[in-house]
Amino acid sequence: MAREADYQDDDIVVISRNPLVGKLLLVTQDDEEIELYLERDSAEALMSALAALLAEGEGQDNPRRLT
């Protein structure tokens, strides 16, 4: 079942550097915390998806910088 959660502007906590694993905190409307664990492949896929989202912006939401 899908749930909506918000990113809280927190840094990703690096759990391991070899292999690379990090944790990102999300919070639902009911204040339930969701810990999103990312390994290298998932982090790269998320970066790609976020860049694609930002590229769709228009007007004031026009992309400022994509790398």
Q: Quick check: pTM over 0.85?
A: no
Q: Is 22 helix (H, G, I), strand (E, B) or coil?
A: strand
For 9, the token pair is 């502007």
**More confident call, 60 vs 18:** 18
pLDDT at 67 over 70: no
- Triad 13, 17, 20: Cα angle to 5°: 80
The per-residue pLDDT for 9 is: 86
Rounded to whole angstroms, the Cα distance separating 42 from 19 reads 13
Contact present, 13 and 36 (Cβ < 8 Å): no
